[in-house]
Structure 1
């Protein structure tokens, strides 16, 4: 298995693309190594690929080679499940194309080859007068609903790999098992919250830390009760914010893409919307949020979801508001916590904790 973009040859790439069914009558004649960049989890290299003939039935000429860092092997395996088992069963998934994946379990190495979405898309959100528009949010929801409706109460998301738990600061929304939820809460209560309180003691009053301690304790019981029958759960992106979206440079020819699927999980559908909108600090959030939730619920019903009332949706949204209090504590971010705490107050979520 290769471990760097420099090892890619035209012959090797031709073989991989042919094995995966992406190349039949053509061959790769040249691979040019381009820009490199990195994230917390992986390294990325842009590739320019020259094929033997021009055809719309061959892979993209602009590709991305992604290889995971040491310690993130599990994230790579999870991402492979996403593309091979989740995306592969969807008729029109709003994600960039994955052409190849391979791994070496003993060496804990893995890589992907994707289309380079930067050619047709941008990570800069379109705004009007400095704010996100209702139209843009609805476009995002239309694409999100493709995942949420198809995987709503689907047996696949109740299999063992979805129930064994997740890592990282976004896992409190993970609908795993009551035992795992308990371990999540213990970690926040016993480790992350004391660290956050020590860092933020000059910026936040003690009452806030006491409140969070109570919220963690109540969350353990509230969430375990909510998910115990596996009803009204779906496949979540888990980290849905505007900078994990790829916006088409030409909306007439391309659609919106979702990126960064490393933190997907099973959970309450409204969580993805709550996480996205609750991070919007503009005043218009108060004006549009409930309408967006209604639009989302209508989309679920139109997509075939049954036995999930508007009242159920609002309750899950309020639970999701509580869940979004916890990631900023894992990030040790006072600013983000304050933003989420305002959201918590807006939805009167204290009522659920009392």
Structure 2
């Protein structure tokens, strides 16, 4: 009797709904709370991406399955095809289309203008589909949880989590100077209060991807500006511009304020939400840069913490902690 391991022929075959005699593990990918591999099926040229998750990772994988089954059918989504899945209650195995086999690749920071425009159009389509129609899901604490805007009570819990995680991060990040550390302490209270004020009326919110970046979650095919996007486990109610602010954090620019404002304007025009003023869109974008800082804390990344501090300063994001959210703008 063959032993059933997470990526055995029996396990993969059960998820696909077909019998396999052999699978070959080709590549292993870095992932939090999951094992992710590329496998070749039965010695053929067919490859798939297999994700095996337990514990908190299983909860994330179940959210991704729910996305495919309940949300993806609502619009022309950019996710790779779901090929199969199994869930035994303790672990989840998720199989999806291998984008690399189809000629797709993650561009990293060297994303082109056409690719940026394609990514913005995809984000606008996602956010437009779920505009003011978001599930009130409460997600487990994660790197991207501080971007969650609804229900309102999660904001205070996430702020408390930031304070607790910052203490651990700063203990380990000895290279950070006092001035760099103090900025987080100065802004977290204001962020919590302003986020509560922003979402109080429950309007101009949408479903965001939550982890939209060009370093490994957004893939392009040559000559096709419309990307494919993976890792839908961090979907959450949020501020639409957050996804764009997070994506642009890894893309260098000689004049970031001008570049970001032009791309944000393209996003706002593509979104075409009648109840969403340009002033509020700009405010949401700059406010989201602060949420990006908190994500670097959960990642324990000194590099991205400093990148986020620079963005906050360059784009005057701290003014959103004192300026009232312009939610009444038309």
Asked which structure has the greater CA Rg, the reply is 1
User: What is the root-mean-square deviation in Å for CA atoms of aligned residues?
Assistant: 2.7
1:100 corresponds to which residue? Answer: 84
The answer as to whether partners of 1:9 and 1:31 remain within 8 angstroms in 2 is: no
How far apart in 2 are the matches of 1:214 and 1:11? 53
1:21-32 mapped onto 2 (5 Å cutoff): 31-32=22-23
1:198 corresponds to which residue? Answer: 171
Runs of 5+ consecutive residues of structure 1 not aligned to the other structure: 18-27, 52-59
SS at match of 1:325: helix
Q: Report the alpha carbon displacement of residue 70 of structure 1 after superposing the two structures with TM.
A: 4.2
Match of 1:8 among 7, 10, 23: 10
Cα deviation digits, residues 322-347 of structure 1 (max 9, x gap): 21111112222222111111111122
Is residue 340 of structure 1 aligned with residue 312 of structure 2? no
**TM-score of the superposed pair, with normalisation by structure 1:** 0.81
1:211 corresponds to which residue? Answer: 183
Which is further off, 215-224 or 178-187? 178-187
Cα deviation digits, residues 226-277 of structure 1 (max 9, x gap): 112221111111111102344344435x942111222221100000001111
The answer as to whether partners of 2:257 and 2:315 remain within 8 angstroms in 1 is: no
Q: Report the alpha carbon displacement of residue 11 of structure 1 after superposing the two structures with TM.
A: 7.4
The answer as to whether partners of 2:206 and 2:239 remain within 8 angstroms in 1 is: yes
Which is further off, 75-84 or 242-251? 242-251
How far apart in 1 are the matches of 2:83 and 2:104? 21
1:158 corresponds to which residue? Answer: 135
1:72-151 mapped onto 2 (5 Å cutoff): 72-90=57-75, 92-105=76-89, 108-125=90-107, 131-151=110-130
Cα deviation digits, residues 90-145 of structure 1 (max 9, x gap): 2x21111002122122xx11111212111013434177xxx433222111111222
SS at match of 2:201: coil
1:9-88 mapped onto 2 (5 Å cutoff): 12=14, 16=17, 31-38=22-29, 39-49=31-41, 61-88=46-73
The answer as to whether partners of 1:165 and 1:176 remain within 8 angstroms in 2 is: no
Cα deviation digits, residues 203-224 of structure 1 (max 9, x gap): 322x333331121111111111
How far apart in 1 are the matches of 2:54 and 2:208? 24
Is residue 183 of structure 1 aligned with residue 157 of structure 2? yes
How far apart in 1 are the matches of 2:215 and 2:175? 30
How far apart in 2 are the matches of 1:42 and 1:168? 14
The answer as to whether partners of 2:52 and 2:93 remain within 8 angstroms in 1 is: yes
Cα deviation digits, residues 290-330 of structure 1 (max 9, x gap): 100000000011xxx21111111111112111211111122
1:294 corresponds to which residue? Answer: 265
How far apart in 2 are the matches of 1:194 and 1:29? 49
Which aligned runs of 4 or more in structure 1 are off by greater than 6 angstroms? Answer: none
The answer as to whether partners of 1:236 and 1:264 remain within 8 angstroms in 2 is: yes
How far apart in 2 are the matches of 1:324 and 1:235? 17
How far apart in 2 are the matches of 1:263 and 1:50? 33
Q: How many positions carry a matched residue from both structures?
A: 318
Runs of 5+ consecutive residues of structure 2 not aligned to the other structure: 323-330
Q: Report the alpha carbon displacement of residue 284 of structure 1 after superposing the two structures with TM.
A: 4.6
The answer as to whether partners of 2:206 and 2:238 remain within 8 angstroms in 1 is: yes
Return closer, same or farther for 1:34/1:319 CA change in 2, 3 Å cut-off: same
How far apart in 2 are the matches of 1:291 and 1:234? 22
Cα deviation digits, residues 17-49 of structure 1 (max 9, x gap): 6xxxxxxxxxx7765423141422222343444
SS at match of 1:44: strand
How far apart in 1 are the matches of 2:278 and 2:78? 26
